[in-house]
């Protein structure tokens, strides 16, 4: 920018967090502030001199503020290049005053549409037009104009101006990238909202996508995630990795967890923690889950958290070494004492909170006291709500609803001669809730609200049944078996019967269902069909 022009900043922000301090810093550096409507009033209220945009353009704000910055003197001041002869001539001829800084953030469209019952009129009124235009103009002309689009940038911008008298080229490009990221996300949010409006008004027929598909699976999918932190590496040391979060993540998600102690989280830790949260959220009773490689090697419910943990850990204590453990209650001292017992090694613990004495015990007593990762997630007690999940494949992306909704028990059907006892039915319900969190082919043996044997991720369901039987040993006698998909042959039932299993739960739907039912009747077992499969690949 030519030094013949005074320093001027255009300031127009919806989010006014810290704007008074930032603008005061600019004034102290010799900037003249030009502003709009509500922003101008906020600056004036802070006792900072400011000129109204209308005084500069000689054109009033009109249409209830819809039109105020869409003016050649505004965009000429942003897009002008004073050191180019043609631009300098236009600047002089039209009385344009170039801006050194443009400080703009946008109407809260995403926050508005997130409000329950928001009207279409309110949503549309919160689509910013002038703001994105100024942001994009300044970002394009970043060699001459600094674009400040977020309160989190204020401190760094002031520091650079104070230290060097100007913004470095590197910082200008960083601010530009952030500005275009903001407008891209903003436009995508608006497009998604409009897709849903179209879907709500659409009439589905044989020749078009259903209204639900239009709303949830639009023709074009653009995702925006913000980098939370780099990771040391991915699944293996030679793979690079980072953790990104959704801008509007829910309070029941891993992105909302607060780490209170321990080493930095790894890629594999985060995968296991996400799976661990999903399991214990399914239960109303105190519950504990022990995770290894995205699979529960132990899970239990009980009247107290300490008892639930004891049962969960005993499910497979060998596999529990170096595990991730989750709880759906605040972790109390009694449970912490059990965790601190010699011989246990835990990678991470996540729960809604830690009692003070429990936290002290976990961070002062065991050998791993400084290293164990303790995470607090109050929202993990909340009811699950279906969101979409994404999985990358070469050249594309798979999108589906998360499998996190409770199965309607009114659709369950006892298909054998014998009805389950009350105790068996409680364990069938428990086993079915846990089984859907096990990698396919999944077989889970359970008894007394405790997983006693898990067969996960095998190519054959029979292999999974044999592994579950070996893991459970004598504990499976009188227990139940849960299968995430139908038994294709009777061999899985025969294996369960050898292990002493007395009840089975599965989706049903195989051409061999009658053969499988007959096997249950031969063994005196009872079996429930749920009508819903829970593959987890």
Mean pLDDT, residues 43-66 taken together: 83
Residue 191: what pLDDT? 87
- Establish if 460 belongs to a structural domain: yes
Last residue of a domain, one of 139, 167, 192: 192
Q: CA-CA distance, 134 to 77, in Å (whole number)? A: 10
- Establish if 254 belongs to a structural domain: yes
CATH number at residue 114: 3.40.50.1380
In a shared domain, residues 32 and 169? yes
Separation in Å, CA 534 to CA 131, 293, 397, 502, 528: 46, 18, 21, 22, 15
The length of the chain, given as a count of residues: 537
Residues classed as catalytic: 140, 293
pLDDT, the chain, mean: 90
SS3 for 237-306, per residue? CCCCEEEEECCCCCCCCHHHCEEEECCCCCHHHHHHHHHHHHHHCCCCCCEEEEEECCEEEEEEECCCHH
In a shared domain, residues 29 and 150? yes
CATH number at residue 448: 3.40.140.20
At 245, the pLDDT band (50, 70, 90 cuts) reads very high
- Establish if 159 belongs to a structural domain: yes
Note whether 7 and 145 are within 8 A (CB).
no
Q: How many domains does the chain have?
A: 3
Q: Is 441 helix (H, G, I), strand (E, B) or coil?
A: coil
Residue holding tokens 């209170």?
A: 260
In a shared domain, residues 346 and 234? yes
In a shared domain, residues 372 and 413? no
In a shared domain, residues 373 and 416? no
At 208, the pLDDT band (50, 70, 90 cuts) reads low
- Establish if 487 belongs to a structural domain: yes
In a shared domain, residues 373 and 437? no
Instruction: Out of 287-296, 403-412, 489-498, pick the least confident.
Output: 403-412
Read off the pLDDT of residues 221-239 as tens digits, 9 standing for 90 and up: 878 888 999 999 999 999 9
Note whether 269 and 373 are within 8 A (CB).
yes
In the chain, what is the straight-line distance between the N-terminal and C-terminal CA atoms, in Å?
Answer: 57
In a shared domain, residues 289 and 350? yes
Residue 72: what pLDDT? 82
In a shared domain, residues 147 and 239? no
In a shared domain, residues 129 and 188? yes
Q: CA-CA distance, 99 to 10, in Å (whole number)? A: 7
In a shared domain, residues 255 and 350? yes
CB environment 304-342: b (16+ within 10 A), e (fewer): ebbbbbbbbbbbbeebbeebbbbbbbbbbbebbebbbee
- Establish if 206 belongs to a structural domain: no
Q: Domain span at residue 181? A: 8-192
In a shared domain, residues 372 and 242? yes
- Establish if 198 belongs to a structural domain: no
Mean pLDDT, residues 143-172 taken together: 93
Percent of the chain with pLDDT over 90: 69
Note whether 269 and 347 are within 8 A (CB).
yes
pLDDT at 210 over 70: no
DSSP 354: B
Read off the pLDDT of residues 99-118 as tens digits, 9 standing for 90 and up: 999 999 998 888 888 888 89
In a shared domain, residues 177 and 38? yes
- Establish if 294 belongs to a structural domain: yes
At 383, the pLDDT band (50, 70, 90 cuts) reads low
- Establish if 355 belongs to a structural domain: yes
């Amino acid at each position: 920018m030519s030094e013949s022009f005074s320093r001027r900043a255009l300031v127009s922000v919806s989010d006014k967090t810290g704007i008074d301090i930032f603008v005061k810093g600019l004034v102290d550096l010799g900037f003249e502030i030009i502003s709009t409507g509500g922003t101008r009033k906020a600056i004036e209220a802070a006792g900072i001199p400011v000129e109204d945009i209308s005084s500069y353009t000689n054109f009033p704000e009109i249409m209830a503020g819809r039109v105020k910055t869409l003016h050649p003197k505004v965009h000429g001041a942003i897009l002008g290049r004073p050191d180019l002869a043609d631009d300098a001539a236009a600047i002089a001829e039209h009385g344009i005053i170039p801006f050194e800084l443009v400080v703009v953030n946008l109407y809260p469209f995403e926050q508005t549409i997130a409000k329950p019952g928001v009207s279409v009129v309110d949503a549309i009124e919160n689509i910013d037009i002038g703001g994105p235009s100024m942001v994009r103009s300044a970002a394009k002309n970043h060699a001459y104009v600094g674009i400040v689009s977020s309160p989190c940038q204020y401190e760094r911008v002031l520091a650079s101006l104070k230290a060097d008298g100007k913004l470095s080229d590197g910082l200008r490009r960083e601010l530009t990238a952030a500005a275009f990221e903001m407008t891209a996300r903003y436009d995508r949010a608006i497009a998604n909202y409009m897709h849903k409006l179209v879907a709500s008004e659409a009439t589905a027929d044989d020749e078009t996508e259903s209204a639900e598909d239009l709303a949830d699976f639009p023709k074009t999918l653009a995702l925006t995630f913000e980098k939370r932190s780099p990771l040391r590496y991915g699944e293996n040391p030679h793979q690079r990795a980072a953790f990104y979060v959704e801008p509007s993540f829910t309070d029941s998600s891993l992105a909302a967890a607060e780490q209170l102690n321990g080493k930095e989280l790894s890629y594999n830790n985060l995968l296991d923690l996400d799976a661990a949260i999903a399991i214990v959220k399914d239960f109303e009773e105190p519950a504990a889950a022990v995770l290894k490689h995205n699979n529960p090697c132990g899970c239990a419910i009980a009247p107290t958290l300490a008892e639930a943990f004891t049962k969960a850990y005993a499910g497979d204590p060998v596999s529990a070494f170096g595990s991730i453990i989750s709880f759906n209650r605040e972790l109390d001292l009694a449970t912490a004492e059990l965790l601190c017992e010699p011989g246990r090694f835990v990678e991470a613990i996540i729960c809604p909170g830690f009692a003070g004495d429990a936290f002290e015990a976990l961070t002062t007593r065991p050998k791993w006291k400084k290293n164990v990762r303790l995470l607090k997630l109050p929202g993990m007690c909340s009811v699950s709500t279906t969101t979409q999940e994404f999985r990358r494949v070469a050249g594309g992306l798979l999108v589906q609803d998360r499998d996190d909704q409770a199965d309607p028990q009114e659709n369950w059907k006892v298909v054998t001669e014998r009805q389950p006892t009350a105790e068996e039915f409680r364990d069938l319900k428990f086993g079915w809730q846990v089984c859907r969190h096990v990698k396919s082919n999944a077989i889970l043996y359970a008894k007394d609200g405790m997983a006693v044997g898990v067969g996960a991720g095998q190519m054959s369901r029979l292999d999974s049944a044999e592994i579950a039987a070996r893991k459970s040993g004598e504990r499976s006698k009188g227990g139940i078996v849960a299968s995430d998909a139908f038994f294709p042959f009777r061999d899985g039932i025969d294996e369960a019967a050898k292990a002493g299993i007395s009840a089975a739960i599965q989706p049903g739907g195989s051409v061999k269902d009658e053969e499988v039912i007959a096997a249950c009747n031969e063994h005196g077992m009872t079996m429930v069909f749920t009508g819903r499969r829970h593959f987890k690949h």
